Amino acid sequence: MRKKKKNENIRIMNENKCIFCSVINGELPSYKIWEDNDSIAVLDLCPNTKGQTLVLSKNHLPSYPFDIDDKEYLRALKSAKTVGKILEQKLNVKRVALVIEGMGIDHLHIKLYPLHGLDTTFQETWTNETAYFDNYKGYISTLMGNRAEEKELLEIQKLITNN
């Protein structure tokens, strides 16, 4: 069991360089679990589940995935899939969640979360907890919110589709 201790600020800077570039270049210690020509995968230093992993592009690209070209985007997803399959096998989990939040450190990275405790066959998994955020709070959640009103959904649909 991991000791619970105050989460130390992990925003370590290495001479004002990007922390992920410093990890990739071996200037900062890491717990590397996989590497190819395009990406490196390291264990997250502050995981919220066993085996939480970061897949880092070896190229310093913007962290917001919709700002990079399709080739780099697909390359990153392919690396994440490879690492996800390794996590499934080695950690004996049936699924691994993938998140590209685009926040925190401005360097393209994909977060992989092994989903421990799932049955061997797919089962819908729900919770009674709900969440809704008017503004980004430094994290995202997959919790569902309360059912939206039809009027609100129609307004948003109209805004997006210009209909």
Global confidence as pTM: 0.87
- Delineate the domains of the chain, giving CATH numbers in brackets: 19-114 (3.30.428.10)
Average pLDDT, the chain: 90
Token readout for 95 is: 């699924």
Distance CA 91, CA 88 (A): 6
Strands, E, within 58-118: which ranges?
96-99, 109-114
CA nearest neighbour of 74 among 61, 87, 85, 86: 61
pLDDT of 83 reads: 99
CB 19 within 8 A of CB 11: yes
pLDDT tens-digit readout, 42-64: 999 999 999 999 999 999 999 99
